[in-house]
């Protein structure tokens, strides 16, 4: 596969990478321009974000995405402007840092994809407890 530096991986890219391993693999230090404004940047290289994705092996792809969060209010305000976002939409988020913050991180776990990997399911739809279909849009 052809990977271009500075672009995010798509599902196909994740599958290609994860098929090469028999255990989870971590992809870290993403280019900062493709990550969210709230991702903390590497102190040694501002072009890299302190983000991480865990790819499940055997082609299952990303099961965890996360990273360290920016805790400096002035930097966050600057990033909101840099990303051309509306400051009003993030007032609540900025208020959380208004009187100081501590270094912290966060992550999201794709539970259905994780269950698919653990159980060896052929397709993620087999692990969704209340799948949505054209005939069924509510649980």
Return the exposure string of 93-105: e unless at least 16 CB atoms fall within 10 Å of the residue's CB, then b.
Answer: eeeebeeeeeeee
Sheet holding 61-69, edge to edge: 25-31, 48-56, 61-69, 104-109
Q: CA 54, CA 28: separation in Å to the nearest integer?
A: 9
In a domain, 24, yes or no: yes
Confirm whether 5 is domain-assigned.
no
Measured torsion, CA atoms of residues 60, 31, 36, 33, in degrees rounded to the nearest 10: -130
The residue that leads in pLDDT, 135 or 30, is 30
**Residue 54 belongs to domain spanning:** 11-71+105-120
Backbone phi and psi for residue 2, each to the nearest 5 degrees, phi listed first: -95, 115
- What domain count does the chain have? 1
Phi/psi class of residue 95: alpha, beta or left (left: φ > 0; alpha: ψ in -120 to 50)? Answer: alpha
pTM: predicted TM-score of the whole model, two decimal places: 0.81
Q: What is the pLDDT of residue 138?
A: 67
pLDDT at 50 over 80: yes
Mean pLDDT, the chain, integer: 91
The whole-angstrom separation of Cα 31 and Cα 5 is 8
Within a domain: 81: no
Asked if the structure places residue 87 within a domain, the reply is no
Please check whether residue 80 lies inside any domain of the structure. Answer: no
**Interval 90-113: pLDDT, tens:** 999 999 999 889 999 999 999 999
Residue 89 lies in a domain: no
Is residue 113 included in any domain, yes or no? Answer: yes
Establish if 92 belongs to a structural domain: no
Mean pLDDT of 58-79: 94
Torsions phi, psi for 111 (to 5 deg)? -65, -40
User: Whole-angstrom Cα distance, residue 45 to residue 48?
Assistant: 6
Share of the chain above pLDDT 70, in %: 97
pLDDT above 90 (res 3): no
For the segment 26-50, the average pLDDT, to the nearest whole number, is: 95
């Amino acid at each position: 596969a052809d990977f271009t530096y500075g672009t995010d991986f798509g599902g196909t890219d994740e599958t290609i990478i994860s098929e090469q391993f028999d255990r989870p693999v971590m992809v870290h230090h993403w280019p900062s321009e493709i990550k969210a404004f709230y991702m903390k940047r590497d102190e040694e290289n501002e072009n890299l974000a302190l983000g991480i994705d865990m790819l499940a092996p055997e082609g299952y792809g990303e099961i965890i995405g996360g990273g360290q969060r920016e805790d400096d209010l002035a930097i966050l305000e600057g990033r909101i402007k840099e990303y051309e976002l509306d400051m009003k939409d993030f007032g609540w988020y900025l208020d959380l840092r208004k009187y100081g913050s501590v270094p912290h991180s966060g992550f999201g776990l794709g539970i259905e994809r994780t269950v698919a990997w653990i159980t060896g399911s052929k397709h993620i739809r087999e692990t969704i407890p209340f799948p949505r279909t054209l005939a069924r849009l509510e649980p």
